[in-house]
Amino acid sequence: MSKDIVLAFSGGLDTSFCVPYLKERGWAVHTVFADTGGVDAEERAYIEQRAKELGVASHVTVDGGPAIWNGFVKPFVQAGEAYQGQYPLLVSDRYLIVDAAIARAKELGTKAIAHGCTGMGNDQVRFDLAVKALGDYQIVAPIREIQKEHTQTRAYEQAYLEERGFDVRAKQKSYTINENLLGVTLSGGEIDHWKTPGEGARGWCKPRAEWPSEKLTVTLGFEKGEAVSLNGAKLPGDKLLAKLNELFAPYGVGRGMYTGDTTIGLKGRIVYEAPGLISLLAAHRALEEAVLTKQQNRFKPEVARKWVEVVYEGFFHDPIKTDLEAFLASSQSQVNGEVVLETSGAQVTAVEVRSPHILNAKGATYAQSADWGVEEAEGFIKLFGMSSTLWAEINRS
């Protein structure tokens, strides 16, 4: 007799494989696609059709845009740090996907959750820890199961589906591709082998030859560290980020390659594209650096790096995340104003900052004018460098 199980579904190779695999083991598979804003109407229709042709018991699409903005983008931008200084945490939609899957499981009255994560990657940690934090659920991970017997899992999955009459998209044969409101990540193929990414390893960002000839200028408005307007127009956060993706992707902004330490200890390598998120970070940092004190600007990155590590490694529901966010929110009380961003391609620069909270000294401008005298400047330098100067004098040979 079939048992109900909820599968977090994207229509890609891994989650497509999971459907017949689970069905053949007696599960009635209910798929959930958490639409976090990275796909268009055509792709959403494909995902729904894919679920249907695979023979799921039911399929639902959940709007995850507002949740991913409030649950991740807002605190991430306020933190202002990438993982290991490189990666803008584009995988953080996984936690919102888990929320959607568990909500569906509650509707169906089942305690079984499935995902398509491999046994070699970080996503399995994020999915499993998030599920465990939210209740007593059975977790089924078909890709981890087949890895016990098959080393070339992608080839096995592809053959498994084709033997059952299901086509596999050409791009899914070469790469693992994830898209959401935050951006695009690509792995597999030559990327995994530390070689130059091929032409197929591209998502939203246009190559150099296709960049527009005219520069792009946009103005972002912030209230308490949260972006609230674009070119003077108020927008919900998820809509604002989607528009930034649309504006900056043609200029190749936000494309990079992350190589670094994964949660499970392996070295990771992916191509990522995050035009909107990278633009938001640039604007927020320019405003924040102008309105926070020196001590805030020095200390805050330490909190931010810890927050990023916690989220990257799967501890999205650990109390430390809430504790860190309390500090981040407090630091943003005066981060209000507008920032003008400009790009001609690849790099985005904050060219103008406007805020009533910029820490300007009324009678002084850096390297231009001062409201103190020569004696005060010399006295400050003498005292500020006293220890270093004494060391040099005493130990001079």
In this structure, are residues 226 and 336 in contact, taking their beta carbons and an 8 Å threshold?
no
Least confident of 21-25, 179-183, 217-221, 281-285: 179-183
Helices (H), the chain: 13-23, 41-54, 65-68, 74-79, 93-108, 123-134, 142-146, 153-163, 170-174, 189-192, 237-248, 275-291, 294-312, 319-331, 374-384, 386-395
In this structure, are residues 15 and 7 in contact, taking their beta carbons and an 8 Å threshold?
yes
Per-residue pLDDT tens over the stretch 79-132: 999 999 999 999 899 999 999 999 999 999 999 999 999 887 888 999 999 999
Residue 180 lies in a domain: no
SS3 251: helix
The type of residue at 144 is: R
- Domain span at residue 266 reads 185-354
CATH of the domain at 312: 3.90.1260.10
In this structure, are residues 283 and 226 in contact, taking their beta carbons and an 8 Å threshold?
no
Q: Are residues 11 and 146 in the same domain?
A: yes
Residue 102 lies in a domain: yes
Residue 179 lies in a domain: no
Q: Are residues 269 and 150 in the same domain?
A: no
Q: Are residues 249 and 198 in the same domain?
A: yes
Across the chain, mean pLDDT equals: 93
Q: What is this structure's pTM? A: 0.88
Residue 122 lies in a domain: yes
Q: Are residues 368 and 386 in the same domain?
A: yes
Per-residue pLDDT tens over the stretch 369-396: 777 788 988 999 999 999 999 999 999 8
Q: Are residues 32 and 131 in the same domain?
A: yes
Q: Are residues 270 and 324 in the same domain?
A: yes
Per-residue pLDDT tens over the stretch 38-88: 778 898 999 999 999 999 999 999 998 899 999 999 999 999 999 999 999
Residue 178 lies in a domain: no
Domain boundary at 120, 147, 173, which? 173
Per-residue pLDDT tens over the stretch 142-160: 999 998 888 888 889 999 9
Residue 38 lies in a domain: yes
Domain boundary at 173, 200, 217, which? 173
Residue 221 φ then ψ, to 5°: -105, 140
Q: Are residues 19 and 43 in the same domain?
A: yes
- How much is the pLDDT for 387? 94
Is the model more confident about 363 or about 305?
Answer: 305
- How much is the pLDDT for 367? 62
Q: Are residues 34 and 169 in the same domain?
A: yes
Task: Work out how many domains the chain is built from and give that number.
Answer: 3
Q: Tell me: pLDDT of 171 over 80.
A: no
The single residue listed with the structure tokens 């494989």 is 17
Query: How far apart, in whole angstroms, are the C-alpha atoms of residue 97 and residue 80?
Result: 23
Residue 54 lies in a domain: yes
SS3 112: strand
Domain boundary at 113, 138, 173, which? 173
Q: Are residues 344 and 197 in the same domain?
A: yes
Residue in 256, 244, 216 with CA at minimum distance from that of residue 343: 216
Q: Are residues 45 and 96 in the same domain?
A: yes
Q: Are residues 229 and 250 in the same domain?
A: yes
Residue 211 lies in a domain: yes
Q: Which residues have C-beta within 8 Å of that of residue 155, sequence separation ≥ 6?
A: none
Specify burial of residue 200 (Cβ count, 10 A radius: 0-12, 13-18, 19+). middle
Q: Are residues 197 and 255 in the same domain?
A: yes
Report CA torsion sign: 30, 99, 135, 317.
Answer: positive
CATH of the domain at 75: 3.40.50.620
SS3 124: helix
- How much is the pLDDT for 298? 96
Query: How far apart, in whole angstroms, are the C-alpha atoms of residue 214 and residue 160?
Result: 49
- How much is the pLDDT for 2? 63
- How much is the pLDDT for 267? 86
Least confident of 52-56, 121-125, 300-304, 333-337: 121-125
